[in-house]
Structure 1
Amino acid sequence: MTSSPAPAADTTTPSPELRQLADSLGVATEFWDYTGHHRIVSAATIRAVLGALGVPAGDEGQVRAALADVELAPWRAVLPPSVVVREGRTHELAVHVPDGAGVAVVVELETGGTLELEQRDAWVPPREVDGVLVGRATFVLPADLPVGWHELEARVDGGRARRSPLAVTPDRLPDPGVATSRGWGLMAQLYSVRSARSWGIGDLSDLAELTSFSGDLGADFLLINPLHAAEPSGRMTPSPYLPVTRRFVNPIYIRPEEVREAAYLTGPQRALVEWAAEEVRGTNATNQPIDRDAAWSAKRQALEVIFSAGRSRSRQRALDRFRAEEGQGLEDFALWCALHEKYASTGWPQELQDIRSPFVARARRELAERVDFYVWLQWVADEQLAHAQQVAVESGMGLGVMHDLAVGVHPGGADSWIDRDAFAQGIGVGAPPDMYNQQGQNWSQPPWRPDALARTAYAPLREMARTVLRHAGAVRVDHILGLFRLWWIPDGMGAGEGTYVRYDHEAMVGVLLLEAARAGAAVIGEDLGTVEPWVRDYLEERGVLGTSVLWFEKDAAGQPLQPDAYRRLVLATVDTHDLPPVAGYLAEEHVDLRERLGLLTEPVEHVRAEARTERQRMVDRLREHGLVGENPTERELVEALHAYVVRTPAVLVGVSLTDAVGERRAQNQPGTDTEYPNWKLPLADGAEQVVMVEDLPGSARLLSLVAALRAALGDDDRLA
């Protein structure tokens, strides 16, 4: 994610009609910036955003016509495109039919059976719509509708029946299922945690070992970076937060030897697999940046050998079942992978840009064998993920694997090709200027269109959530505010020239909770930064945990927040992957790095003085609570900071594996691309010596931190 330079701002003030149109479509025309100043969004930005929503607004005539269309849109459809409601509450449903026509509405329940809805006496004046007088009938969705995906059917006199999806979502998720009233867990960048048998990058077999180890320590969860798929050929994007799809898994995380068919390879086939492993296995113990391209090249060679060896009848049947369950979405993703593999070096022909074209249909037939291979990779990854979660549960973890869900996808990726109509074209998602990135940020990710989501009954969100949660006890949603609003930046404009676009958060959160409830999983929302209080209240009401990071939790005077002032329904941690681990942060690594990379917007002396003040205030707070004495060591400070977080009421507490082993380097430096090895650093200790999976059980520093954490939790439980 890189900062975008801001060109001269367009000061054109939007007209009242343009503002009205934008407001009616959820496009913000004003906002408060991080300095507390009120900002008016330029007319140019508003017009560009409306255009990306399919609403022409180039002149005032188009604006007036669009306003009329927006007003009449609900009256032009018998039923809304989709309906999302909460369980346990009655809801009104507006149905539009020719004036005077009779209509009946039934719900076809997901579990079978039907329920006829009661019509409420609520007269609304009819309206003329496209030359036809249209009336509105109001029906009642009862409070006892079961949670699930149902179907509405409106039967209109003299006309064909109209149908619309109906989702009844949980009113609230239960608190996370941990052994006691509170739980703790480890947090790791899976790619960075390697074992002697890894292929140059941490993988799903390493994940199983990590969950087993974590469970033995008494942890309830293991939060890992997003495992979303990246490019299958050519250069692989290092950032797990810029995937080609958020639904499917990056096969780079597969351990080839753990594929069941690998055990039955012939001698020559097994040799090919071992030779491929030898190409990259020697890098496991080095502290050089992780080379994803080399690791994937070696793994792909081995996996192709295993795939070609075939499967037994029962194994093929299991693969066929998986393929049928994942449906067209998996087929289309596998086709995109095959096409990317074929055209990565030359560029895609224009006729293959549209998935609906006959040229794509022909390519699907021609590349059928490669499509089969990429489908098989997802099945294998799914099996290894299932094993890791099974190991986690068997080791006693309350939640097990906690997946991370990125905020968006690569603009040239699979999702934006498969579901092109679901994404706003000519728009990048980012963030407005803030105190850490004063030019704003453009993450170069296309946003979902709110109207397209409603038209498809939130299928992109639903399918993604279902797949990610298949083998998980929890999911962390990066930038969960994206379910409420996103900062849209029109192409060619600076990051500071964007505006917010609102989403139907009741529907978006509801659909996510419905899939989480079905999976028995908890949901944690990354709600850092400037967040309106009502949003946090709303998420808490729905049972979605927030996020608290110790370094960011301060009172109005800039002092560290007292433990009892923290929220309860949060995952509380000391730091994040965008900051150096505690050891590095205390040593001002974040200041040194930003100075070295030219990212500071203020004199380094001033920034360093602020960092030292922050550190001293934190040490003073720790001393106030009796957690450190005079002149504490680095290890004592790390343990005291985690003990401080335990003193908060947070229901979940996270410990970064980098903190546990003494690492000092940040995994990611926002505002950079190639200037820093983002998302490539292997796990190492304070002396930059690689720490492998096999080393963790004997790590004195890790065991000491865990002991301090568990002692603090025990003290806290006794106090309670």
Structure 2
Amino acid sequence: MAASGQQHPDYPDTHLLQRLADAHGVGTSFHGWDGLPHSVAPETLIKVLAALGVPAHTNQLIEAALAEVELAPWRRMLPPVVVVQQGGTALVPVHVRDGATARLTAVLEAGAGEPVEAVQQDIWVPPQDVDGLATGRATFAVPPGLPLGWHTLHAESDGVTAQGALVVVPARLTTADSLAKRRGWGLATQLYSVRSKRSWGIGDFADLADLAALSGARGADYVLVNPLHAAEPVPPVQPSPYSPSTRRFFSPLYIRVEAIPEIAYLKPRKRATVERLQEQVQALNHDGERLDRNTVYAAKLQALELLYHARRSPARQAAFDEFCEISGSGLDDFALWSAIREDLAPEDPLWNDPDCALGTPEGETLREKLADRIGFHRWLQWICDEQLANAQEAARRAGMRLGVVHDLAVGVDLSSADAWTLRGVLAPGVSVGAPPDMYNQLGQDWNQPPWHPARLAEAGYAPFRNMLSTVLRHAGGIRVDHVLGLFRLWWVPAGNSPRDGAYVKYDHEALIGILALEAQRAGAVVIGEDLGTFEPWVRDYLAARGILGTSILWFENDGDSPLPPERYRTKALASVNT
């Protein structure tokens, strides 16, 4: 036993531990809602670092990890991704055998132009010994005139090649500029509660189109809806739209069944079955106190199964095939999860069995075995896409400047599709939450796995991009819940109380840049829900990048007095409540 006042020899040195935490973007302290600094316990730092894949429970491990922080970039010929603002110059390090020549080329995305040679800069960096090999660094400048988009960097030296993503993003998102000249107003609604006589017991995409048409005709510029992310593929379903199964794909619960063209070709007996199911759940429209999602979803799925097997015209089949091709492996993997989840509970050991993970022989066997069910879930997403397109078209036809504004949840459930299909870019053993604040002094644990910052970058931010491009495909805007999470997130290690967490930083320049790029391409505005505890400069940064803020009536005050509307922020969405 160590003498009193001495640190146990096997317990890590606090200073070393904090250095390692800083190197990996883990906050060792933070300012709470009370304005006071709070230190993060060493035990919490060790757990958070473990979630990042960095063992830190002894001094020896910490020293080795600190050395690896220095050497890790030198082990790669190229960074996995470089994000640069349009008009700016990106300096790209290329690691080669010391003394060897190197070449770097930017290959632009399809249709954007010819490859561009990067220019080597006169920047000398001392070589490093990397596993016994003297390694040098050549620094190249990517020219500032490249177009917006997802490009590719190719490096070559001594016959060795490497490639990485080059993402050119807007310095400032311009899609909200017209709103500065003339303010707009709109409606915010929970779509499931927007029922009409034709609804199947719950508001749906057709109701959204009607609401947009009605409000647009009266001068509204947008309809902001709750997150429409998919939940479980079969009932019972998670009632909260902020704890979804995926943030990329949509909930078939909102499909208007009779709006699917193939209903016209059902045989009379099957058509009668659909009408009977419709009549049963339409009776729920008269219950103003309760929404029975599970009964509605069960009825809709039964009807949708009949429509899925109806013969499609060649044009319709071609449209479905094109949708599947554009959506790629992400849709295939989500559909596989949905097909498996139909029969397996979330606590089934298969979900954590590495032998059954995506890409394994067993996983591919499941894909072959469940091919028809996978096809069904792909088809459901196609129908969602079509009906969302109709809703946005109705909104713009009615004169709305924006149309449908989607809400992007902070994360997904721990037992969700994204948690399984995107496991490689999510951090294990932790969940997202919030530190104590004046409303909840115990802190919060939202039971949602966070992005792993380094692994997301290693993937070239593709999962983040794919999520955004899908949500924005038929949208005039997107509200990003807890946009502060693109700067840092409060990680709560498993077994800890929510207050015993730590902030982990993200590359906000990259994430905000990609968000702006995808929104610019979609012609959509971005609204950041920037409430809560945050660093003072964050709101100014978001405004400078063209992202609107959020002002809530109840929070807009000057001490004990409410602020008059003319003193609200001008570049923000103002509403009565959240």
Residue equivalent to 1:233? 234
Deviation at 1:159, TM superposition (A): 2.9
SS at match of 2:185: strand
Residue equivalent to 2:570? 568
**Which residue of 463, 486, 494 corresponds with 1:491?**
494
Q: Which amino acid aligns with 1:136?
A: R
- Hey, what's the Cα distance between the residues in 2 that align with 1:387 and 1:573? 27
Deviation at 1:558, TM superposition (A): 2.9
Distance 1:396 1:103, change over 3 A: same
Q: Which amino acid aligns with 1:553?
A: E
When structure 1 is superposed on structure 2, of 26-35 and 180-189 the one drifting more is: 180-189
Deviation at 1:565, TM superposition (A): 3.0
Distance 1:200 1:179, change over 3 A: farther
Cα pair 2:12 2:57 within 8 Å, conserved: no
Q: Which amino acid aligns with 2:425?
A: A
**Which residue of 559, 562, 568 corresponds with 2:561?**
559
Residue equivalent to 1:38? 37
- Hey, what's the Cα distance between the residues in 2 that align with 1:119 and 1:93? 9
Deviation at 1:356, TM superposition (A): 2.6
Cα pair 2:333 2:421 within 8 Å, conserved: yes
Residue equivalent to 1:442? 445
Q: Deviations over 1:579-616 (max 9, x none)?
A: xxxxxxxxxxxxxxxxxxxxxxxxxxxxxxxxxxxxxx
State TM-score, norm by structure 1. Answer: 0.77
Residue equivalent to 1:536? 539
- Indicate whether 1:27 and 2:26 are aligned: yes
Cα pair 1:225 1:404 within 8 Å, conserved: yes
Deviation at 1:264, TM superposition (A): 2.0
Deviation at 1:348, TM superposition (A): 5.1
Residue equivalent to 1:340? 341
- Aligned Cα root-mean-square deviation (Å): 1.5
- Hey, what's the Cα distance between the residues in 2 that align with 1:166 and 1:379? 30
Where do residues 147-546 of structure 1 align in structure 2 (5 Å cutoff)? 147-156=148-157, 158-176=158-176, 177-178=178-179, 181-344=182-345, 347=348, 349=350, 350=353, 353-546=356-549
Percent of residue pairs bearing the same amino acid type: 53
SS at match of 2:415: coil
- Hey, what's the Cα distance between the residues in 1 that align with 2:91 and 2:55? 32
SS at match of 2:46: helix
How many residue pairs end up in the alignment? 563
Deviation at 1:192, TM superposition (A): 0.7
When structure 1 is superposed on structure 2, of 170-179 and 215-224 the one drifting more is: 170-179
Distance 1:425 1:179, change over 3 A: closer
Deviation at 1:412, TM superposition (A): 0.6
Residue equivalent to 2:7? none
Q: Deviations over 1:23-75 (max 9, x none)?
A: 01100000111112211101111000000001111111101100000111111
Q: Deviations over 1:210-262 (max 9, x none)?
A: 00011011000000000000001242000000000000000000000000111
Cα pair 1:489 1:499 within 8 Å, conserved: yes
Where do residues 39-188 of structure 1 align in structure 2 (5 Å cutoff)? 39-110=38-109, 111-156=112-157, 158-176=158-176, 177-178=178-179, 181-188=182-189
Deviation at 1:353, TM superposition (A): 4.8
SS at match of 2:340: helix
Distance 1:179 1:304, change over 3 A: farther
Where do residues 571-720 of structure 1 align in structure 2 (5 Å cutoff)? 571-576=573-578
Deviation at 1:561, TM superposition (A): 2.4
Cα pair 1:353 1:417 within 8 Å, conserved: no
Q: Deviations over 1:502-550 (max 9, x none)?
A: 0000000111111111111110000011222211111001000010001
Cα pair 1:148 1:169 within 8 Å, conserved: yes
SS at match of 1:154: strand
Deviation at 1:207, TM superposition (A): 0.4
When structure 1 is superposed on structure 2, of 124-133 and 389-398 the one drifting more is: 124-133
Deviation at 1:464, TM superposition (A): 0.2
Q: Deviations over 1:563-583 (max 9, x none)?
A: 34322110011212xxxxxxx
Cα pair 1:92 1:140 within 8 Å, conserved: yes
Q: Which amino acid aligns with 1:32?
A: H
State TM-score, norm by structure 2. Answer: 0.95
Cα pair 1:178 1:399 within 8 Å, conserved: no
- Hey, what's the Cα distance between the residues in 1 that align with 2:181 and 2:34? 42
Cα pair 1:405 1:475 within 8 Å, conserved: yes
Distance 1:147 1:346, change over 3 A: closer
Cα pair 1:199 1:277 within 8 Å, conserved: yes
When structure 1 is superposed on structure 2, of 567-576 and 542-551 the one drifting more is: 567-576
Q: Which amino acid aligns with 1:525?
A: G
Q: For structure 1, which runs of at least 5 residues remain unmatched after alignment?
A: 1-11, 577-720
